[in-house]
Structure 1
Amino acid sequence: MNPKIWWYLARGAGLTSWALAAVTLVWGLLLSTRSFIKRPRPAWILDLHRTLGGLTVAFVGVHLVGLFADGYVHFGPAQLLVPLASTWRPGAVAWGIVALYLLIAIEVTSLWRRHLPASWWRRLHVVSIAVFPLGTIHALTAGTDAGPLFREVVLGVTALVVFLWGLRLIAPRWPAGRAQVPPAPPQLRSPAPTKAPLA
């Protein structure tokens, strides 16, 4: 077996998890912006968002397994789970660990959404946007694949996320798009016909 298989696995899973996190965030912003998707929303739209989030967590797990199994740089449980515990680029690795915990918290609370107050869940779910910048910083500073092409992709995706986030903030203030029709004047009742007097 190729001794670098675990390193390739860690790199591939890391890039895939970043891409999935970006798609999950973009899809979530589209879901929450009424300018793109009107209500009632089909069930498959929400299911796709949940599936993308679950796949992100799964590939992050594969990323951690690859780092743990690879022998080039030592990554034990402490180095993988405790910020600044790694001797290899501790700051860069710490960004990824913080993103990991935030991602797990969001995924767990999403699974338990029915058991949580709606307002509390919404506030926590809004924080999920922080996973993307944290993961992006981690990928750019700790990843070995952060070449010019990857940086251009990051720049483009970041611009899209910023645009959608700004649109989400102002979209609820937009008018619904229906013309204001003035109320119809009250109808006047015609007087009841009077009977002619009998001769």
Structure 2
Amino acid sequence: MAPLVASLNTNGLWYLARGSGLVLLGLLSLNLVLGIAIQGGWHPPGWPRFVVQGLHRNLALLAVILLVIHVVTIELDPFVPVGWWAVLVPFVSPYRPLWLGLGTLSLDLLLAVVATSLLRGRLRPSWWRLTHWLGYLSWPLAVVHSLGTGTDTRWTLVFVYEMACVGLVVAAVLFRLGRAVSTAPGWRAGLILATAAAPVAVLAWAASGPLQSGWAIRAGTPVTAVASTGATGSGTGGSSAAPGSPFVARFTGTMVESGGGTLATLTISGSVPLGSLQVVLTGQPSSGGELSNASGTASYRPAGTAITYQGPIVNLQRSLVGMSLQAPGGPVVPAQLVLNPSSTATRVVGELSFGTSGSAASPSSGDDG
């Protein structure tokens, strides 16, 4: 088993990282719409042009603040191994390198826009305009990054929100193109068709990629950071959920090894907001600190109940523990515990999925981390 980080209070970081990313996407979308409106000479009736421009700048400033929060919280959260280099250098992170790299490119473009705006008085106007236009590329990169990297995309409300951001910007671009009478008719028609096709292409890609089971592995998530229902990231249910209800939640606990010689026992005990879990593995100790030829059992007890789900370990691959659990007289419930790769040998943190489709399957069936 891979060692795990001792981190019992990281849920706040995880929620803040995800929430700030989603709000940031909305702010970038609104700011892009305002930029398109300003370029087209449009502003709400009764609003002076300088008011719209001021709102545009203030939204950009707020977006930068949220961007800092988003990046810092992701880096501080031990569950996702992003790496500080990946903040500015794209495609170097071990966690979903392509999709995270697109977010890094978006960040780099935004930083270039901020830097050139601060130095606008010292730059040639043509250089500033070029950088500003390139800055608009940060938005589609951010959208694809959000869909490909985000762990909440499979939540209906989150996906509708992301597509609403896409629709808002597409509508603004179509409105702008409709008024671009100086553009050659052929070019304008082509741009309108391409813009209108963009959300259809995004929907088709999302339906065949981020919304599908197994996306986490295909996206490049390390197996030790995969949770089999990743769309729900951590803790989809509150403490009011009915016992046995499906959920995915952050797991924290301890790991104790006993025995020795040719047979050792590894006991993982911990909790999620909805209950407690104990996994007991028995096998031959290896030089790498892992167990070979291991087997075991697991038990999960929902909080506030006397019900205990018990069953065998059906899949064990490094930091992935697949379980098949059953309460007395109840149906078999698949479950999966995925342990974080960067912790101590005694304190563990990870993610437990319970009662979700494919939970006890192999990593290739996983979704988001």
Sort the Cα spacing of 1:155 and 1:75 in 2 relative to 1 into closer, same or farther, 3 A: closer
Does 2:182 correspond to 1:151? no
Does 2:132 correspond to 1:125? yes
Gaps of 5+ in 2: 1-7, 183-369
Does 2:144 correspond to 1:137? yes
- Say whether the 8 Å CA contact 2:26–2:165 is kept in structure 1: no
Partner of 2:35: 28
Partner of 2:61: 54
Report the aligned-residue RMSD.
2.2
- Say whether the 8 Å CA contact 1:6–1:69 is kept in structure 2: yes
Per the alignment, in what secondary structure is the counterpart of residue 173 of structure 1?
coil
After the TM superposition, which residues 8-87 of structure 1 pair with which residues of structure 2 at under 5 Å, given as runs? Answer: 8-36=15-43, 41-87=48-94
Does 2:89 correspond to 1:98? no
Deviates more, 1:5-14 or 1:118-127: 118-127
Partner of 1:173: 181
Per the alignment, in what secondary structure is the counterpart of residue 108 of structure 2?
helix
Task: Please report how far the alpha carbon of residue 35 of structure 1 lies from its aligned counterpart in structure 2 after TM superposition.
Answer: 4.5
- Say whether the 8 Å CA contact 1:17–1:60 is kept in structure 2: yes
Partner of 1:178: none
Per the alignment, in what secondary structure is the counterpart of residue 81 of structure 2?
coil
How big is each residue's C-alpha offset from its partner over 1:117-159, in whole Å with a ceiling of 9 and x where there is no partner? 2233223212222111100101101011113322223323323
Partner of 2:116: 109
Q: TM-score, normalised by structure 2?
A: 0.43
Task: Please report how far the alpha carbon of residue 105 of structure 1 lies from its aligned counterpart in structure 2 after TM superposition.
Answer: 0.4
Comparing both structures, which one devotes a greater share of its residues to helix?
Answer: 1
Q: What amino acid maps onto 1:173 in structure 2?
A: V
Q: How many residues align?
A: 173
- Say whether the 8 Å CA contact 1:7–1:67 is kept in structure 2: yes
Sort the Cα spacing of 1:36 and 1:153 in 2 relative to 1 into closer, same or farther, 3 A: same
Distance 1:42 1:160 in 2: 21
Comparing both structures, which one devotes a greater share of its residues to strand?
Answer: 2
Q: What amino acid maps onto 2:34 in structure 1?
A: W
Greater relative CO (CA pairs within 8 A, separation 6+): 1
Q: What amino acid maps onto 2:69 in structure 1?
A: V
Distance 1:126 1:41 in 2: 24
Distance 1:171 1:37 in 2: 16
Per the alignment, in what secondary structure is the counterpart of residue 88 of structure 1?
coil
Distance 1:6 1:33 in 2: 40
- Say whether the 8 Å CA contact 1:33–1:167 is kept in structure 2: no
- Say whether the 8 Å CA contact 1:31–1:37 is kept in structure 2: no
Q: What amino acid maps onto 2:124 in structure 1?
A: P
Sort the Cα spacing of 1:43 and 1:125 in 2 relative to 1 into closer, same or farther, 3 A: same
Q: What amino acid maps onto 2:11 in structure 1?
A: K
- Say whether the 8 Å CA contact 2:86–2:104 is kept in structure 1: no
Greater Cα radius of gyration, structure 1 or 2: 1
- Say whether the 8 Å CA contact 1:30–1:37 is kept in structure 2: no
Q: TM-score, normalised by structure 1?
A: 0.77
